[in-house]
Structure 1
Amino acid sequence: MTGYAIVLASPELERIQAVSTIASIAASSDIPVEVFVTMNALTAFESETVAEESFETEGAVGEAMLASDEVPLFVEQFEQAASIGPLTVYACEMAMDLLRLETDDLSDVFVDTLGVAGFLNSAQDKQVVFV
């Protein structure tokens, strides 16, 4: 195994923040990480949603994260981690098509778009985690 491949399908802020934190720590430790953002998780990465911080939260931790100035938002964590370590974030082509999203509609954290087959091919030597 050479790193992690994380499939992020949940739109819940708590889960997205957890993935960005884990991916950031791994990448800063020089552990390769690929994040495949699919299904409803893509809605949290829409530029308008990020600008308005109108995320789905499941409880007290998510609400506290939004209220805190000390917790960097997931897009900031992904951007920082990608600048210092081996982190790649992909948007799912199928979900983008279904949601009628273009690359310009999403935050700048994505390196590229991939279909499921492309992601599985790139993740074949990694531990795959589904969130």
Structure 2
Amino acid sequence: MSAAMSRLVPFALATTLALPAGAAEPNGPYTLLEASRPLFEGVTNTDRATAEACAGWSMSKAQVERFFTLGELLDGVVLHHQFAWLPCSIEGRVHDGRGQVWNFRINAAATATTWRGDGPTREEYRWGCRREGCESLVLMGAEGDG
């Protein structure tokens, strides 16, 4: 198995698990409830440019809501081929149009994860923002065609 394939297997397995009865994916409109300052996740500060860009990155309430409005739920293959990852993210919670509250983590490279619940009842979704208007919200846009 190739190294790229071995990275995809755990995600593919996680996405094939059955969701609990009553599970409903996030659905707009989205309302930001709270958000953190940017979190730099670098192991060292050797990449000063990335650390400084992360420290200077922020998303307003409207920008977080726009990210989820423009973003789309994607599978691991699309995320792997069209998006990068940066050691910088913003965490928080959003309220969706169905009345559900979701935890989120938006990566500065135009991806996000939303989740609610824990253990066997955890619902988790992966997002990518690759439409027009996404690049102004993050530090790095999608790499492939949208």
- TM-score after normalising by structure 2: 0.23
The structure where strand makes up a greater share of residues is: 2
Q: Which of these two proteins has the greater Rg computed from alpha carbons? A: 2
Question: Per chain length, whose mean CA-contact separation is higher, i.e. which structure has more relative contact order (CA < 8 Å, sep 6+)?
Answer: 1
Higher normalized helix content (fraction of residues) = 1
The TM-score with structure 1 as length reference comes to: 0.24
